[in-house]
């Protein structure tokens, strides 16, 4: 029964919780049994808090099932970048290896207020830096489709926990693809909302538009449910804005078909693995079969990566200046590189990035007057070796840093548009590939509706959850 319960969708499990067919304690027991059965092979959830979860569940059970919030006692995982009161929170860094915060992050408070029960912290690279989930505190997280491969990052533990059925919903965050790339690499759904859609903080970078919190799930409707939980105005976040009048879960339940979608295999600037290009291009036939017009077009992304690098470097100085003074020797080299890049910036560099971002935003606004959505591969490559820190080459293009291989994701980040990664196929050797859909700013409802229609046509969500697979002998 426990394993059967873990194979239900989040919505099905919440419905059973609200009906009183099962209790939150039953859901915790089922999740813990699944974690014990599979996590030793993938290392997705290194920090477990079952007793804290059971205490929370018992307090929820003092209310009637219908009064327990949108999640009704459903166990969830929180990324190890977000503090949870009384729970070891390491940020994937040896600096915080034994850190236990007194207060929870704003996003965590919203999840718990909606009846979510924190059961685990999911693994992440150090301070979320990089598209590969490994750190010196907990080690590496493995891709469940092939345990010799990476699950990407930085929400890698979240994606793997979902794909293997350890939790029904997982919180994540995204700066340069950290919800989307693990979604693609693990064949789950990762949604990057518009800045301010999900409140954050408190932090030193409250006005930062690059980093957002968001939902991960095994299917689009579950992601919509979790976004309803997370979204809304919070006075502690200066960028946050109210939840929509029509909940996202209701919008997805009756999805409207987009009229016109632009597809680009490379966004006009990015080298992309040929097999990934082909899989994503073929996947657009699902939209064409619905009567959606699909055209080979893309906005002009000139200057997007330059602006991204500048704003990212500023953010690293803002967030890490004090830590760097005291603990520089404990940071991984990629973070030191990003930090030093920030210190070297001039006012002219930052002004140029601001102007470039503003120009790109206007080009995107014009583009969305013509198209409902933009589609492209989520990641330029399929999952790669667990032993490789980052992708340093695609075809004839060589990258001299750990960020540029994620150009398809980073460039979209700069636009402030919401974006979602949905499973769209597998390479010939079984590695998952994701399709990235991008909507106009604050267009999460339209984005989720289109993703739901695609998911229904593709049917890949029915493959989950899976047991971890070792590489073919």
240 is catalytic: no
Please compute, for residue 98, the number of CA atoms within 13 A of its CA located in the half-sphere on the CB side: 0
Q: How far apart are the first and last CA of the chain?
A: 33
Cβ(376)–Cβ(280) under 8 Å? yes
178 is catalytic: yes
Distance CA 437, CA 377 (A): 9
Cβ(320)–Cβ(334) under 8 Å? no
Choice among 18, 79, 121, 341 that is catalytic: 79
79 is catalytic: yes
In which element (H, E) is residue 328 found? none
Neighbours of 329 (CB within 10 A): 7
Query: Which class for 359: exposed (0-12), middle (13-18), buried (19 or more C-beta within 10 A)?
Result: middle
In which element (H, E) is residue 399 found? none
Does the N-terminal peptide bond of residue 57 adopt cis geometry, omega within 30 degrees of 0? Answer: no
Query: Which class for 358: exposed (0-12), middle (13-18), buried (19 or more C-beta within 10 A)?
Result: exposed
Cβ(210)–Cβ(413) under 8 Å? yes
> Of 61, 90, 96, 56, nearest to 76 (Cα)?
56
User: What phi, psi does 295 have (nearest 5°)?
Assistant: -125, 145
Query: Which class for 259: exposed (0-12), middle (13-18), buried (19 or more C-beta within 10 A)?
Result: exposed
Choice among 93, 104, 154, 155 that is catalytic: 154
Active site residues: 79, 154, 178
């Amino acid at each position: 029964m426990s394993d059967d319960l873990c194979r239900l969708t989040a919505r099905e499990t919440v419905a059973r919780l609200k009906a009183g067919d099962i209790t939150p304690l039953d859901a915790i027991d089922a999740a813990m049994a699944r974690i014990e059965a599979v996590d030793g092979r993938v290392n997705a959830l290194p920090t477990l808090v079952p007793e804290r979860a059971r205490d929370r569940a018992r307090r929820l059970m003092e209310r009637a099932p219908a009064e327990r919030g949108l999640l009704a006692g459903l166990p969830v995982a929180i990324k190890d970048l977000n503090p949870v009161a009384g729970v070891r929170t390491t940020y994937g860094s040896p600096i915080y290896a034994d850190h236990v915060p007194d207060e929870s992050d704003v996003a965590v408070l919203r999840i718990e207020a909606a009846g979510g029960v924190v059961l685990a912290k999911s693994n992440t690279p150090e301070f979320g830096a990089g598209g590969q989930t490994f750190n010196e505190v907990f080690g590496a997280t493995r891709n469940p489709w092939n345990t010799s491969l990476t699950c990407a990052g930085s929400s890698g533990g979240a994606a793997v926990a979902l794909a293997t059925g350890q939790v029904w919903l997982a919180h994540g965050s995204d700066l340069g693809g950290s919800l989307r790339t693990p979604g693609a690499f693990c064949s789950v759904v990762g949604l990057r909302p518009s800045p301010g859609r999900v409140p954050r903080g408190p932090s030193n970078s409250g006005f930062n538009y690059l980093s957002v919190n968001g939902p991960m799930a095994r299917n689009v409707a579950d992601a919509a449910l979790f976004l309803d939980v997370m979204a809304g105005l919070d006075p502690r976040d200066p960028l946050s804005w109210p939840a929509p009048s029509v909940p996202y879960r209701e919008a997805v339940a009756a999805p409207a078909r987009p009229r016109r979608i632009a597809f680009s295999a490379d966004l006009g600037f990015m080298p992309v693995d040929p097999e990934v290009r082909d899989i994503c291009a073929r996947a657009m036939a699902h939209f064409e079969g619905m009567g959606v017009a699909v055209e080979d077009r893309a906005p002009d992304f000139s200057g997007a990566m330059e602006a991204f690098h500048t704003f990212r470097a500023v953010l690293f100085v803002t967030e890490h200046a004090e830590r760097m003074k005291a603990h520089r020797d404990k940071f991984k080299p990629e973070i030191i590189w990003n930090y030093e890049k920030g210190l070297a910036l001039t006012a002219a560099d930052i002004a140029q990035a601001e102007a470039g971002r503003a120009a790109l935003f206007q080009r995107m606004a014009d583009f969305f007057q013509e198209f409902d959505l933009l589609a492209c591969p989520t990641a330029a490559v399929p999952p790669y070796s667990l032993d490789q820190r980052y992708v340093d080459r695609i075809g004839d293009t060589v990258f001299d840093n750990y960020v540029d291989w994620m150009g398809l994701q980073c460039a979209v980040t700069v636009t402030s548009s919401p974006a979602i990664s949905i499973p769209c196929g597998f390479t010939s050797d079984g590695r998952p590939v994701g399709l990235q859909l991008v909507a106009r700013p604050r267009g999460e409802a339209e984005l989720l509706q289109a993703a739901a229609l695609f998911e229904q046509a593709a049917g890949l969500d029915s493959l989950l959850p899976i047991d971890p697979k070792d590489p073919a002998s």
